Amino acid sequence: MPHSVVEIIGAKRDGDRLSAAQIDWVIDAYTRGEVAEEQMSALAMAILLRGMDEAETARWTAAMAASGEMLDLGALDRPTVDKHSTGGVGDKITLALTPLVAACGAAVPQLSGRGLGHTGGTLDKLESIPGWRARLTTAELYRNLDEVGAVICAATERIAPADSRMYALRDVTATVESVPLIAASILSKKLAEGTASLVLDVKCGSGALLTEPEQVRRLARTLVATGGENGVRTSALLTSMSAPLGVAVGNALEVTEAVSVLRGEGPSDVTELTLALAREMLASSGMSDVDPAGVLASGAAYEKWRALVAAQGGDPDADLPVAAHVHTLYAPRSGNLATLDARAVGAAAWLLGAGRARKEDEVRHAAGVRCLAKPGDPVSGGEPLFELHTEDPATIEEASRRLHGAYEITYGEVRTDPVVLERVTGSDVAV
């Protein structure tokens, strides 16, 4: 018997627990257009205000995954494992991590997204490579996983279509911050892609989706518990996003930096986080005996990167876009760089053309910021501190203003956050 969406909204408004049947029905009816946008908006707000428990969140996630095509990776001859980041500034980890883990012997089905606002998107970065394709057919995805061991691509419209509708709705109804809805959005696509294991990189700091440590811990625990409830081995690393990752912020700039990591020449923080996540992914796949640092040093991960790019139509030897205008900002005085606000740097890169305000906007692949000093580094007055890369010189003034307020220089000792702050596993969230 059909349920009443009004009764479901009222139940959650009053703090009641939704049943599995109610959740299954409302997600299916919304996907089919039988539940109106304003009704799902009201339900999303009720969930934001009243929350959902672990069982509700797990069921909501499963229903969203079941709204479309469910991939079956069981025919692959190696364990499957994926990674998801909650987003940040300069977060090019997927570009180096995916070929590294594949070179270690696992299959990595990496369905990725695009940037919005101050955070960058993996697909935007890779599309700075001439010829590279983000959209693959299901047959191409299976073939690349079998032949290369890795794929980084966009989810098809048939993967968790309920999430696509909900994501757009939450963005315009001030319900983005709901932890259960964030968890369901992330995990529904991972359940649909069929991975056996999943590692979450949950960012904490000024450049992250969530900035308060307790809220970040709650999201990590919810993600791990929800993944486990749906049969996916799931763990999470809480990682610092107070300052940008690495030096480069911007699409082609970040691809260049990721390749430098694969060649053993990258920034220490990017390399450290790449290896930490690789170890976590391999452990979740029963491959703890494989040393990703040794594989990285051998050059095998770099060769896997070249194969991955070529398999999706890209030329790994092609020159990447270069900005027509590069403007340098200089340190106003000497001392130690105490802070570098990730969100402000991301906003500056966005102003220069590296990001988008709306999903349909185009990005400028050559645009971005290079941070020539990181927190803890000594700086000298008059020496370069930032490079601003853009196609439009009219953007430089406002981007410069953002960067002038993005850092502090001190004469005292500087304490910096570790790259990995905490680890959350299934045993940490077990009742």
**Mean pLDDT per 10-residue interval, the chain, length 431 residues:** 87 96 96 94 96 95 94 92 92 96 96 71 92 93 95 88 87 86 92 94 89 90 94 95 95 97 96 98 96 97 98 97 97 96 94 77 90 96 97 96 95 92 83 44
The DSSP symbol for 355 reads S
* Strand (E) or helix (H) holding 396: helix 396-404
Domain 81-317+420-429 fold is Pyrimidine Nucleoside Phosphorylase; Chain A, domain 2 (3.40.1030)
Closest CA to 180 of 286, 51, 88: 51
Question: What is the pLDDT, as a whole number, of residue 355?
Answer: 78
Question: What is the pLDDT, as a whole number, of residue 226?
Answer: 94
Question: What is the pLDDT, as a whole number, of residue 18?
Answer: 96
Residues whose CB falls within 8 Å of the CB of residue 33, separated by 6 or more in sequence, listed in order:
none
- Give domain 325-410's CATH architecture: Alpha-Beta Complex (3.90)
Buried/exposed 16-40: b ≥16 CB within 10 Å, e otherwise: eebeeebbbbbbebbbeeebeeebb
Q: What is the rounded CA–CA span in Å between residue 226 and residue 263?
A: 36
Catalytic residues: 84, 163, 170, 185, 189
Question: What is the pLDDT, as a whole number, of residue 431?
Answer: 44
Residue the block writes with tokens 């300052």: 243
Question: What is the pLDDT, as a whole number, of residue 427?
Answer: 76
Q: What is the rounded CA–CA span in Å between residue 183 and residue 198?
A: 13
Is 92 within 8 Å of 255 (Cβ atoms)?
A: yes
Domains of the chain, residue spans: 5-51, 81-317+420-429, 325-410
